Structure 1
Amino acid sequence: MFKMQIISSCTILSLFVLNMLCTGNGKEDWNITFNPPEITAVPGLCALISCTFTYPEEAKPIDNVQWIVCTNGQCKKDRRIFKGKVITQNKIKLEEKKTETERIKMLEPDLTKNNCSIIMKDITAEDENEYAFRVEGQLKHKSTYKPTVKIIIQDEPIMDIPPLSEGVEASLTCSAPFPCPETPPEITWWIKTRGEHITNLKDVNITLITSRSLYLSTLHLTPTSKLHNATVGCDVSYGNKTISASRTLEVTYVQTLRILGDDKVMEGDTLRLNCTVESHPPSSDPVWSFNGTADKIRNHTSAENLMITNVRKEHAGIYVCEMTYMNETLNASITINVIRENLLGKDDLLNSSKKCKEAFQMQVDIRMIIGFLFGISVSAVIFSVVLCCHESWQSRDETQVVATNTDTEVILEVFYDQQGHQKK
């Protein structure tokens, strides 16, 4: 066992020594590391490319460093966008003042610190490329590093919306690039409902995660049916620069199935029923049944409507509407009562009503005649009584006048007839 450990240790040591011999006795070789290997930049802002590099001792001192645009893995010196001449103490001095190098700056001009990070200002859509870093040292010790960094242009935030269901809390995210440390972004959320009402959402429902290259804002939302087809958006502000994104919400929901229509119908009229339910996604077409069977009313249904003309007594009963929503069965029912107007038909009822009106009118006329005749009779009676009394008064044969003779104290009674002549 001990011998085996000795053999293993010797083997490992031999491999380590061999590796040092193959790599230049353990000295640093050409190597570069980008962190991150992709940079997301916003037009009009800046982009930070962070990197570190190493080079062999034989290449010292470094003469110049360059940044080159690469296409399909080909990095040619004629597409150079930056060149810095190394002066004393490994300090870099820009060599070409009138080129694009004016908008590119190395963060660390001392190459002994092995920092090759740069900031590119005033990013445009044309800057979406791969870039390589090149070092030219003494004699033939020159190298364009094979690993490259990529700049991606993003002119709006990226929104991620999971499937939404009514009453179930969901998390919506809005990510914005953070390419330039000088201008950290600020993210705000808003919602515009179907009634065109815009609501700015409060920070209480929002969490923010930041990193060197990304801002991620999460909106915690419990959707309702009112938010279906609403618009949700996030605005990202970088100082005076703002980028925005918006999406239409799709909320899965279903409301109560309803049957619309009157539950009382006159015999001979038309029965109209409507089966409706609001849902997303839409429910299936309805299936109607009457008193437990669909055969009797199959010819009276179309889509969500049921219509029966010339309703009769046998159409009274229970009508059921049934729909399917995402493997869930929905149903509603209504009890229809058929009301009979009369044993007679409508025409007979109208005729009877007309006859009643005529009879009533006739009764009114007879009463008026009887009243008129009764008035005449009473007037005649009264007139006869008055006339009789008058004649009775005039037919009195005698009118008594008493005269007193003061001389003889004899009372004389004189009688007159009807014409006023004195009777003897």
Structure 2
Amino acid sequence: MFKMQIISSCTILSMLVFNILCTGISSRSSVIQGDGKEDWSITFNPPEITAVPGLCALISCTFTYPEAAKPINNVQWIECKNGKCPNQGSIFKGKVSTQQLEEKETETERIKMLEPDLTKNNCSTIMKDIKAEDENEYAFRVEGQKPQKTTYNPTVKIIIQDEPIMDIPPLREGVEANLTCSAPFPCPETPPEITWWIKTRGENNTNLEDDITLITRNLYISTLLLTPTSKMHNATVGCDVSYGDKTISASRTLEVTYVQTLRILGDGTVMEGDTLRLTCTVESHPPSSDPVWRFIGTADKIRNYTSAENLMITNVRKEHAGIYVCEMTYMMETLNASITINVIRDTNESKINESFTPGGGNLLGKDDLLNSTNTTSGKEAIQMQVNIGMIIGFLSGISVSAVIFSVVLCCHESWQSRDKMHEVMATDTDTEVILEVFYDQQGHQKVYY
């Protein structure tokens, strides 16, 4: 742990030293006077300022001057054009009394030095209400005891930016990526706030939360961690930067590299004599290659339809039953899909659901049925078979109905006779006897004379 702290401290110290050296080299200069002393110098930090129209820009600087120039009488800010900074290009003048700025002359009263005491060697200045025409270079001029005066050679540059800068790396479906949105931070009194949003196809804007925010002296950077999907291809992503009532925005169209599953569209069952239509399709970005068709079956080839998105075969025969394979190439990757096609005969003619599949046996066909008789045509033979079948079925139904009816009738009569009184008469030559026979409910016979 201690070793890591030492390494981190050394790294930070090295970065600070490197920054100081670079800043000194890029933004500091000296003017050599006749006495050989390098006492005139100025430093801008940073040497370039990015400003937003309608807001302010802060110029941060320090300067030195020789002892012989004291006291300082006047200071100026001069607008430079084409690399030249003429004295008549002054946009700010300040008269100094006892090292304090007591009189200031500006065109719009929008330029102000933050430190009126010049003995502190601070020339930091704020410019308000920045306009597009303010994009230029500016120099600082000091006038002391004659002839001790100079216009400092290093200048500060103001760059106008009216929208954020977005950086989007190459995107691939399912792979996380960092999107950045950087906005100027030229004015401390109005810190920016960044909002991310995305609008996919057919949907409304959706706000996103950024993951990392980095604030520098003159820049505000927001980083969004995004996991792209195929739906995000051609979507619009943007960031809005608000400075109080002022808002600037930027947006970009996303390009997502993706590929979906290869599919073959079409009916897997085709009637003999009809047309087979298949479509090989895949959604991808960038687009895949043209499809190549292959056939696994009894036919030798698929005629002239082997390199098209749509495959069509007219007048389909049983030899066309088999497996059809479509292949495409996407970014050096081979994609393929297959479909099994069954060819069936016309069921309205034969009433036989006959199909041809790879390696499958065939049922009795229409031609076989036509050759089975020499006296009638194929259609007449079929019609005769249908009529005989209907007659046999009708007669069978009548016979079964009659049997059922007889059984039911016999049972009904038998049950009625159990409760009915039967009368039996017997006669001989001498006497006439009448016998009455009854059956009780239990079926026992009782005879009365």
Q: Give the structure-2-normalised TM-score.
A: 0.70
Amino acid at match of 1:180: C
**Paired residue secondary structure (2:39):** coil
Q: 308, 322, 326: which is aligned to 2:313?
A: 308
Mapped to 2, the partners of 1:188 and 1:335 lie a distance apart of: 53
- Alignment-derived partner of residue 33 in structure 1: 43
Aligned residues: 338
**Percent of counterpart pairs with the same letter?**
77
Amino acid at match of 2:94: G
Deviations 1:166-200 (A, max 9, x none): 00000000001000000000111111110132111
- Alignment-derived partner of residue 255 in structure 1: 260
Q: 359, 379, 382: which is aligned to 1:352?
A: 379
Q: 161, 168, 171: which is aligned to 1:161?
A: 168
Amino acid at match of 1:278: E
Mapped to 2, the partners of 1:258 and 1:353 lie a distance apart of: 46
Higher RCO (C-alpha under 8 Å, 6+ residues apart): 1
- Alignment-derived partner of residue 91 in structure 1: 100
Mapped to 2, the partners of 1:163 and 1:258 lie a distance apart of: 27
Deviations 1:262-296 (A, max 9, x none): 22212111111100001011111111111299982
| Mapping 1:129-278, distance limit 5 Å | 129-202=136-209, 205-278=210-283
Mapped to 2, the partners of 1:69 and 1:46 lie a distance apart of: 17
Shift of 1:24: 8.5
- Alignment-derived partner of residue 79 in structure 2: 69
Between 1:149-158 and 1:316-325, the stretch displaced more is 316-325
Between 1:256-265 and 1:115-124, the stretch displaced more is 256-265
Q: 1:277 to 1:248 in 2, by over 3 A?
A: same
Mapped to 1, the partners of 2:156 and 2:257 lie a distance apart of: 43
Q: 1:335 to 1:358 in 2, by over 3 A?
A: closer
For the aligned residue pairs, the C-alpha RMSD in angstroms reads 2.9
1:82 aligns with 2:109: no
Deviations 1:39-65 (A, max 9, x none): 000000000010111111111111111
Mapped to 1, the partners of 2:279 and 2:62 lie a distance apart of: 73
Q: Give the structure-1-normalised TM-score.
A: 0.74
Mapped to 1, the partners of 2:93 and 2:206 lie a distance apart of: 51
For the pair shown, the structure with the greater C-alpha radius of gyration is 1
Mapped to 2, the partners of 1:292 and 1:158 lie a distance apart of: 59
Q: Which runs of 5+ in 1 are unaligned?
A: 1-21, 368-424
Mapped to 2, the partners of 1:152 and 1:284 lie a distance apart of: 47
